[in-house]
């Protein structure tokens, strides 16, 4: 079933810019958010935390050789997913597993970023030589019911970019897809209605509908002026759970479409990333997911060049974004999988 879009479909050059902006938003949120990961909880949100974030950004820009910020497992696994999708012109679970493990083994300085669960699964995949039921280790690890963590949502942006206009992905990927194919200014109510309808189909038949409930809370919070961060965190959460992280990222992205008194930034992408980090908790993942949405909506034109050079692998992310765009545009279908 075709989904309605707001406004006119972006032109081809603008769409490429939005692809780049999306993955750059992933990287920026991850790198800057990683500086504050789990430093602040709901009961310990310092009043001057935005100033701390701004001071840290300024310090890294002025006092360090660039790039001075490293990405974490969030960007690493997003890159692996994008590269495997491009290599195979679609999802190849065994190749994706091998790509995850290869990058993990080669990025020794990032191994501490990973939770224990992926490491355990990676170890079993190697023992299996990436053969057989590649999903079995994760099923066993989570008792057959799947993980409730935010890792899947965190890595969802490449899925939306790879699929182009086909929103056949999970909620975060669909939010990115909606942002990608709409021009600012965004009709927030329509955006939320489309996202809620998509999510209701996903949760149809479930006794509990956690995401639907959270997205309704997002709608209510967006209607309030100057809602306190502690109240947002109390209602949405900022943990590693997907049911916390995805609604929080959505709220931060949509709230940043208007000025925020505490965040003195003119452009929405910068504002959204800093605002997401100021919510505390799992800051690298939530800010990365937030940046993916606002980056897809506004594109590269809003992102300061200094922020780009501050983060490692920015050129690689931009190159991958262009490949995803070309694939989605069906311009290099015959060469998909080549180097």
Q: Which CATH number fits the domain that encloses residue 201?
A: 1.10.4080.10
How many residues does the structure list for the chain?
339
User: Do 278 and 49 form a contact (C-beta atoms < 8 A)?
Assistant: yes
| pLDDT at 43 exceeding the cut of 50 | yes
Helix/strand/coil percentages in the chain, nearest 5: 65, 0, 30
Asked if residue 166 belongs to a known ligand binding site, the reply is: no
Asked if residue 230 belongs to a known ligand binding site, the reply is: no
User: Can you tell me the distance from the alpha carbon of 244 to that of 298, in angstroms, rounded to the nearest whole number?
Assistant: 25
User: Can you tell me the distance from the alpha carbon of 292 to that of 288, in angstroms, rounded to the nearest whole number?
Assistant: 6
Q: What is the three-class DSSP state of 241?
A: strand
For residue 1, the model assigns a pLDDT of 34
Q: What is the three-class DSSP state of 224?
A: coil
Of 238 and 106, more confident: 238
Mean pLDDT, residues 191-196 = 94
Residues spanned by the domain of 60: 12-71+148-330
Asked if residue 72 belongs to a known ligand binding site, the reply is: yes
Asked if residue 290 belongs to a known ligand binding site, the reply is: no
Asked if residue 37 belongs to a known ligand binding site, the reply is: no
Is 339 among the domain residues?
no
pLDDT in tens, 298-332: 999 999 999 999 999 999 999 999 999 999 887 54
| pTM, rounded to two decimals | 0.88
Asked if residue 309 belongs to a known ligand binding site, the reply is: no
| pLDDT at 253 exceeding the cut of 90 | yes
Is 107 among the domain residues?
no
DSSP state at residue 67 = S
- pLDDT category, 3, cuts 50, 70, 90? very low
Q: What is the three-class DSSP state of 69?
A: strand
Is 2 among the domain residues?
no
How many of the other CB atoms lie within 10 Å of CB of 210? 16
For residue 106, the model assigns a pLDDT of 85
Percent of the chain predicted with pLDDT > 90 = 59
- How many folded domains does the chain comprise? 1
For residue 152, the model assigns a pLDDT of 55
Q: Which of 154, 155, 181 is nearest to 167 (CA)?
A: 181
For residue 42, the model assigns a pLDDT of 85
Is 130 among the domain residues?
no
């Amino acid at each position: 079933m075709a989904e309605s879009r707001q406004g006119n479909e972006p032109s081809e050059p603008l769409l490429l810019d939005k692809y780049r902006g999306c993955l750059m938003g992933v990287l920026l949120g991850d790198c800057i958010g990683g500086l504050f990961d789990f430093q602040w909880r709901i009961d310990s949100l310092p009043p001057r935390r935005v100033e701390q974030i701004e001071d840290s950004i300024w310090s890294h820009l002025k006092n360090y050789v660039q790039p001075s910020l490293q990405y974490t497992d969030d960007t690493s696994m997003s890159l692996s997913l994008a590269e495997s999708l491009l290599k195979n012109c679609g999802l190849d679970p065994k190749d994706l597993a091998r790509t995850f493990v290869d990058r993990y083994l080669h990025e020794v300085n990032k191994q501490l970023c990973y939770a224990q669960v992926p490491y355990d699964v990676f170890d079993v995949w190697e023992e299996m030589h990436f053969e057989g039921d590649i999903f079995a280790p994760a099923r066993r690890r989570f008792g057959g019911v799947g993980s409730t963590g935010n890792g899947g949502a965190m890595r969802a942006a490449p899925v939306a970019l790879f699929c182009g206009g086909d929103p056949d992905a999970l909620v975060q990927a669909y939010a990115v897809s909606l942002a990608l194919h709409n021009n600012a200014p965004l009709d927030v109510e329509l955006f939320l209605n489309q996202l809620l309808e998509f999510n209701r189909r996903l949760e149809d038949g479930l006794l509990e509908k956690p995401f639907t409930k959270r997205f309704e809370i997002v709608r209510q919070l967006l209607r309030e002026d100057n809602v306190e961060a502690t109240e947002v965190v109390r209602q949405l959460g900022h943990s590693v759970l997907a049911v916390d992280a995805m609604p929080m990222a959505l709220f931060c992205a949509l709230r940043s479409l208007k000025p925020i008194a505490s965040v003195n930034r003119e452009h929405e992408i910068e504002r959204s990333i800093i605002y997401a980090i100021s919510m505390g908790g799992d800051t690298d993942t939530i800010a990365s997911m937030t940046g993916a949405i606002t980056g897809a909506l506004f594109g590269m034109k809003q992102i300061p060049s200094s922020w780009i050079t501050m983060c490692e692998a920015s050129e690689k992310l931009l190159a991958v974004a262009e490949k995803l765009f070309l694939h989605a545009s069906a311009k290099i279908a015959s060469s998909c999988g080549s180097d």
